[in-house]
A and B are shown apart, each in its own frame.
Chain A
Amino acid sequence: MKTQAIDVRGATKNFRLHTQGDVEIGVFQDLSLTVEFGSCVALHGPSGCGKSTLLRALYANYRIDRGSIRVRHDQGWVDMAIATPREILAVRQRSLGYVSQFLRVIPRVATLDIVAEPLRQRGVPDDVARDQAVILLRRLNVPERLWELAPATFSGGEQQRVNIARGFIAGFPIMLLDEPTAALDAENRAVVKEIILEAKAEGRAIVGIFHDAEIRAAVCDQLFELAQFKAAA
């Protein structure tokens, strides 16, 4: 039997908009999901059904109202719904990676350092972390002349590749991917597909949103339909 990486039970998420007349928007209700190591699950459903919200909840970037979100960490489980900030940061440092749809650019910080940062936070020496960053940037076809520049002025596709490099550099056992190929051309989509397949082969777990049907078919073992958990209006 395979080991579970993620175990969500009875998760319910509503947004309460206090500044807009206390409107309450239900996103999903009583949602359960398990993900095993060595597999890739695609969150699926029409726009607005809560795919990104669920992905963010798995990362504890969003909170949930009810339920548990257990993530494998150091041979044990951490429930991201109730973990302390310190515990969540430890999970994010060692066990769980997240590639957001858009890169958050930090003024003045060079591309190489943005990519190397997750390794450095873990205590890997600067030069080793930068060497790893070079390997990934090269693989993702980010031109060498850009490496020492801050990515603020890069194209959407270049920024996305920097973001993917940053997400994958640390070799997290569990990866969350929010449309990792949306802004990429065919050649680079193929590279990302390879990287995901390699991660799976190494026994890592992946949860992603993939609008690109070809990528989805190539990397995913299971489609997870969100519509069934739609909160009653």
Chain B
Amino acid sequence: MRSDQPLLSVRNVSHHYGERAGCLDVSFDLWPGEIIGIVGESGSGKTTLLNCLSARLRPSVGQVLYDQRTRGLVDLYELSEAERRFLIRTDWGMVHQNPRDGLRLGVTAGANIGERLMAVGERHYGQIRDKALDWLGRVEIDTARIDDLPQTFSGGMQQRLQIARNLVTGPRLVFMDEPTGGLDVSVQARLLDLLRGLVARLHLSVVLVTHDLAVVRLLAHRLMVMQRGQVVETGLTDQVLDDPQHPYTQLLVSSVLQA
């Protein structure tokens, strides 16, 4: 892996819904192994931007370039639909806030993990099952539950299963949309700790969208603060949180209740 070149390069991306701007003129580079947090209240354009970055919403203006292993930086929206889908399946992961959006509830936990492996060409049943068992262990789910349906899992377990399903194929880039959103605080802490260890060990690049400043403090190297579709402040995570410059960031940081 080259580390002298960004993995993802976002250049002047805007998206308009009719007259209204979803996100406006966003540019940044994401480097291998780097975690960037995108924070802002609901309606600030975080999710629109995430969709543009993850090849699910063609921006009205601008480019999203991705470093493909063999071809260097390519414009996501110039790829054919088949190429784009292959990229999403092999090189990327997507962790949704609601695990139900990222899991197949009608098949077992093992099959949820195995399905991603089969999508990248793994065919040997024994190996697929072994990898599924290994990943259940890594996300701290009792391996005896491998043949159970995710419906029988708690919210925190479902979220961990979703993470295992995403990471089993060894992606380089993972998008996360409020990964700790619907969980109890104690469950959140466990998930955060797990994520922290996994991203560091696997040298993953992550685009992390959240409104929870404690989550970005723990996970993100760098922050972008969004308001009304625009990036109003960006910098090192601890710098932005401890010495915020923009009025909106100051408001955001000062509004957090100390427990």
Asked if B242 and A108 make an inter-chain contact with CB atoms under 8 angstroms apart, the answer reads no
| Cα distance A19–B222 in the bound complex, in angstroms | 24
Among A15, A17, A18, A61, which residue has the most Cβ atoms of chain B within 10 A?
A18
Q: Per DSSP, are chain B's interface residues mostly helix, strand or loop, or mixed?
A: helix
B-binding segment of A84-92, A207-215, A217-225: A84-92
Q: Is A107 interfacial (CB 8 A cutoff)?
A: yes
Instruction: Mark out the residues of chain A between 54 and 100 whose CB falls within 8 Å of any chain B CB in the assembled complex.
Output: 56, 60-63, 85-86, 88-89
Asked if A62 and B239 make an inter-chain contact with CB atoms under 8 angstroms apart, the answer reads yes
Q: Is A106 interfacial (CB 8 A cutoff)?
A: yes
Name the B residues within 8 Å of A15 (CB-CB).
Answer: 243
Number of chain A residues close to chain B: CB under 8 A: 19
- With A19-B254, A106-B218, A108-B193 already in contact, the answer to whether A86 and B31 are too (CB < 8 A) is yes
- Closest A residue to B217 by CB, please name it: A104
Contact partner of A60 (CB less than 8 A), chosen from B34, B239, B251, is B239
Q: Is B106 interfacial (CB 8 A cutoff)?
A: no
Name the B residues within 8 Å of A106 (CB-CB).
Answer: 193, 196, 218
- With A85-B235, A88-B236, A106-B218 already in contact, the answer to whether A61 and B243 are too (CB < 8 A) is yes
Q: Is B87 interfacial (CB 8 A cutoff)?
A: no
Asked if A19 and B250 make an inter-chain contact with CB atoms under 8 angstroms apart, the answer reads yes
Q: Chain A interface (Cβ within 8 Å of chain B)?
A: 15-19, 56, 60-63, 85-86, 88-89, 106-109, 121
User: 10 closest pairs, A vs B, by CB?
Assistant: A18-B247, A107-B189, A62-B243, A108-B193, A85-B236, A85-B222, A18-B250, A19-B250, A19-B251, A61-B238
